[in-house]
């Protein structure tokens, strides 16, 4: 009889939610867009309120996607603008050093703020912080998000990627993150920058915000041509959703709630999901 009661209790007890932690900077918290304070009550901002507000950002987009897909994730984030993984490891370890099931993280957008394009700091800090997470939970999935090309680092004179195609910075960042992931033995890469390139190459997104946005195209950057627009952060969250859950971003459908909240048209939602699908399916 006792055994039967135990079996029945186990049958009705819901599976424990997976924990996921996002570590990053403004590229995660959604600076300069409607993503920044999107549904902050659905996620936990480990740094607490800033200016009386907590952050939603890409983690809140991800949380919404998982709820729509019938999945259960407890989502936390630790973000500080303009910082790389070396900062988080040195200054935020007390908040981070826990047995998370999944971690999604990225460094500074030029790899090294003092030495743009140099991957050495990313490679060393990614290993340090991955080792910390794995020491607490050897089975933890650790994903590195390879960030996008910055138009403000490409088109203006005197910038590190000036004179190169807009896609080149994203490609350089991807190579660096691939090296960092291999060195850290991370689970894998979230190919954000390559997905941006794909959106540009297929004609969904405009390639140069400095000369205006072509009719029928979206601007993946916000007004500073540096951070993402809501479209860009939406694409980022779709990629994380696909990588972490294994679900096809297209399965969310063109009536997906976050896209509707952001004011996207159904064709735009579908197109962004298609880009994420195609990039995640690429070799």
The rounded average pLDDT for each run of 10 residues, N- to C-terminus, in the chain (283 residues) is 42 69 98 97 95 94 98 98 98 98 98 98 98 98 98 98 98 98 98 98 98 98 98 98 98 98 98 98 94
Q: Which residues contact 121 (CB under 8 A, 6 or more apart)?
A: 84, 86, 107, 111, 112, 115
Closest CA to 61 of 255, 241, 253, 273: 241
Nearest to 105 by CA among 74, 83, 120, 90: 83
Quick one: how far is CA 60 from the chain centroid?
11
The length of the chain in residues reads 283
Vertex 198: Cα angle to 271 and 39 (nearest 5): 55
Comparing CA positions, the residue from 70, 74, 69, 76 lying closest to residue 29 is 76
pLDDT value of residue 283: 87
Domains present along the chain, CATH in parentheses = 18-281 (3.40.50.1110)
Q: Report pLDDT for 6.
A: 39
Using CA atoms of 221, 75, 189, 251 in order, give the dihedral in degrees to the nearest 10: -80
CB 100 within 8 A of CB 133: yes
Q: What is the pLDDT of residue 15?
A: 63
Residue 4's pLDDT is what? 42
Residue 107 to residue 30: CA distance in whole angstroms: 15
């Amino acid at each position: 009889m006792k055994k039967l009661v135990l079996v029945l209790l186990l049958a009705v007890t819901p599976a424990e939610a997976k924990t996921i932690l996002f570590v990053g900077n403004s590229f995660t918290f959604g600076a300069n867009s409607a993503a920044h304070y999107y549904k902050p009550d659905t996620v936990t901002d480990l740094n607490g309120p800033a200016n009386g507000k907590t952050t939603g950002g890409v983690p809140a987009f991800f949380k919404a996607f998982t709820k729509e897909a019938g999945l259960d994730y407890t989502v936390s984030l630790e973000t500080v603008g303009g910082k790389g993984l070396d900062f988080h490891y040195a200054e935020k370890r007390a908040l981070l050093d826990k047995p998370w099931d999944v971690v999604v993280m990225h460094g500074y957008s030029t790899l090294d703020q003092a030495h743009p394009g140099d991957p050495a700091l990313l490679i060393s800090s990614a290993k340090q912080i991955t080792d910390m997470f794995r020491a607490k939970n050897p089975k933890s999935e650790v994903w590195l998000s390879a960030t996008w090309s910055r138009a403000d680092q490409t088109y203006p004179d005197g910038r590190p990627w000036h004179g190169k195609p807009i896609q080149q910075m994203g490609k350089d960042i991807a190579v660096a993150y691939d090296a960092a992931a291999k060195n850290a033995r991370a689970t894998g890469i979230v190919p954000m920058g390559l997905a941006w390139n794909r959106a540009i190459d297929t004609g969904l997104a405009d390639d140069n915000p400095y000369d205006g946005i072509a009719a029928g195209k979206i601007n993946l950057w916000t007004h500073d041509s540096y951070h993402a627009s809501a479209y860009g952060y939406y694409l980022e969250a779709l990629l994380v959703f696909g990588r972490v859950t294994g679900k096809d971003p297209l399965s969310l459908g063109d009536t997906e709630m976050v896209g509707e909240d952001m004011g996207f048209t159904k064709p735009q939602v579908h197109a962004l999901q298609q880009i994420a699908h195609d990039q995640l399916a690429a070799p």
